[in-house]
Each structure stands twice: as structure tokens, then as C-alpha cells.
Structure 1
Amino acid sequence: MPLDSKRKAHQLAPHSRIESDADCFRNRFTGELFADYDEYIDTLFSYQARQWTCAMTGKVQLTFEEAMNSEAKAQKKVDDAFPDVFVEPLCKTVHMSQIRMDELIEAAFQRLSAFIPGEVV
């Protein structure tokens, strides 16, 4: 979820229950519903302001939509670069580990280095 430069993390604004026959305004980025037009516009302007940061890449001064797209692209790159066959062994190495971070990284590297390219797993 994109980070707001004014807040630590973005949280969707809670909305009161809106009657099914009442007019409401929907934010296309987040799906938030607003019964009050002024509140909707204020929120929309905050999403369009260049105050957002991509949580994965650290890119700054993005709009909310740009930050969401940046995060989606970064996540896809990670998913494409990290084969699914490595997920289980890595999770087994990391899960509930109580060793120091540098030792954990080394253990994970050693575990993944044991695989040979082309090996049937």
C-alpha cells in the first residue's frame, strides 16, 4: 500500500453505512464510498497530490495511482525473478528463526545455493 508523506501508512477512511437508495461518490482508486461530496473531493485531491511514496521501491512524489502502479510493477518483477520452487525451502529456513539477520541471510543463501540449475525439484 502506498505510503503518504504525512502519515506512516495509508489507511482507507471508514465510511458510515450508506443507504442503498442514497447518492454516493466512489473513489475509483480505492473503492471508498462517500455520502458527502466535499469529503469526497478532499480525499480525491489528497490522492492526486504528489505526496505518495511507493512502499516497495521508495520512489517519492508520486500520486496515489502512480504509487499503486509502481508497487504492482515492482511486485511483478519480484514474482518473476524468484521461482516458486524456492519459496518453500526459503520459508522453512526463515520461519521462526531466532538467529541474527546477517546469519539468516547467509543461511538462506546457502540453502538456495544448494540447488543446481535444471535440477528437478
Structure 2
Amino acid sequence: MPLLHRKAFIRQRPPADLRPDEEVFLCKITHEVFRSYDEFFERTILCNSLVWSCALTGRAGLTYLEAVESERRAKQSLQSFAPSLLVPLLHLAAQSRRCRLTELCEDVYAFVKDRFFPGETVDVTGRNGARHVCEILQVHSPHSSANGAPAANGHAKAADGDTIVISDSDDESKAFQSPTAQVNGSVGQRSF
């Protein structure tokens, strides 16, 4: 529901003593019923004023219908967001001490841009130039002593026969060695 002066807007309920044959004024924008023309007119003017803001994005200076549309687009955008990134990014945002949204976004992006998360889908280009869509099963730090050891998340063996390991370590001997195969490739794309 759009915010009015950055506070929750609550629509008026129809009067409890409304008779079925009573003539009323319907505000088509908010779907509210008014008995008096003055109340209806005030609500119509309010809905067309630039005092509304989107509850999801924080965009201000909108009309009621623009705020509703902004919320619809934001919800649609959230539906297309990768579920595997949702929890890690929300965790990072919660840990940030930034007050401004742009600074928060910059902090989260700077941390995430060179990292991968389990469940994330990435495009991998192999040595032969072939591109493959792969899912990240495990993430190992190049400085971790657990490289080569079975993973705690239960993905120690390849599910489909081949395992592609992308190493960001400069020292190949420290890179995690897959039980079946290793392709040192580069990540082509990540969808944000």
C-alpha cells in the first residue's frame, strides 16, 4: 500500500449503516465510498497530489496511482531475483551500518561482485572456449585449509559425473581438486 507523507495509508471502510439504495460517491482510484461530495472531492485531490511514496522502493513525490505502479514493478522485480542470492544479500544489508540506500547498495555490491554463493547459477567458459551453465555447489576460500576435504554441505561427490571447479587462487596446488575433473575457467556472467 502506498505511503501518504511517508506514513501508512489506511483506506476508509464503507459506513456500517450504509443502505443498499443509498446514493454514494465512489473514488475509483482508492475504491472508497463517501456519502458527501466534499469528502469524495478531497480524496480525489489527495490521490492526484504529489505527496505519495512507494512503500517498497522509497520513491517519493508520486501520485497515488504512480506509487501503486511503482510497488507493482518492485514486486515483479523481486520475483525475478535469484533465490540463491536473496539470503546472502539480505544478510549483508542487515550487517551494514550505512544509512543512505545508495551507500548500502555500493557496500553490498563491492562485497558480492567477486564472490560466489552456493545455489547460484553462473556461466562458465572452459579452456576450449565452450560455455556451460553451472550451479555453484560449494565455495572454498583460497586461504582455507579445507581445500580438498569433503564439504560440510554434503556435496563432496559430483551429482552428474563432472565437477567444474573455478579457482581464483594464483597457486594451482592450493586450489580445490575435484574428484572427477577440473576446468580452470572464467565466469562469463552473473545476473544481478
Q: Aligned residues: percent identity?
A: 28
2:95 match: 102
Tell me which amino acid in the other structure corresponds to 1:46: L
Matches within 5 A, 1:29-40: 29-40=29-40
Tell me which amino acid in the other structure corresponds to 1:12: R
1:115 lines up with 2:114 in the alignment? no
- In structure 1, what is the Cα distance between the partners aligned to 2:44 and 2:27? 7
1:26 match: 26
* Shift, 1:116, TM fit: 4.8
1:9 lines up with 2:4 in the alignment? no
How many pairs align? 100
Structure with bigger RCO (C-alpha 8 Å, 6+ apart)? 1
* Shift, 1:78, TM fit: 0.8
1:55 match: 55
- Structure number with greater Rg is 2
- In structure 2, what is the Cα distance between the partners aligned to 1:49 and 1:64? 8
1:64 match: 64
- In structure 1, what is the Cα distance between the partners aligned to 2:50 and 2:119? 44
- Cα distance change, pair 35–82 in 1 and its aligned pair in 2 (3 A): farther
Uncovered stretches (5+) of structure 2, i.e. residues with no partner? 97-111, 122-133, 136-158, 160-192
1:80 match: 80
Q: Which segments of structure 1 move beyond 4 Å, counting only runs of 4 or more?
A: none
Q: Deviations over 1:69-94 (max 9, x none)?
A: 011011101111234xx5xx95xxx9
Q: Deviations over 1:50-105 (max 9, x none)?
A: 1001111121111000000011011101111234xx5xx95xxx9xxxxxx429xx
Tell me the TM-score normalized by structure 2.
Answer: 0.45
Tell me which amino acid in the other structure corresponds to 1:72: R
| SS of the residue 1:33 aligns to | strand
2:154 match: none
CA RMSD of aligned residues (A): 2.8
Tell me the TM-score normalized by structure 1.
Answer: 0.68
Tell me which amino acid in the other structure corresponds to 1:9: A
Uncovered stretches (5+) of structure 1, i.e. residues with no partner? 95-100, 104-108
Structure with bigger helix share is: 1
- In structure 1, what is the Cα distance between the partners aligned to 2:7 and 2:72? 20
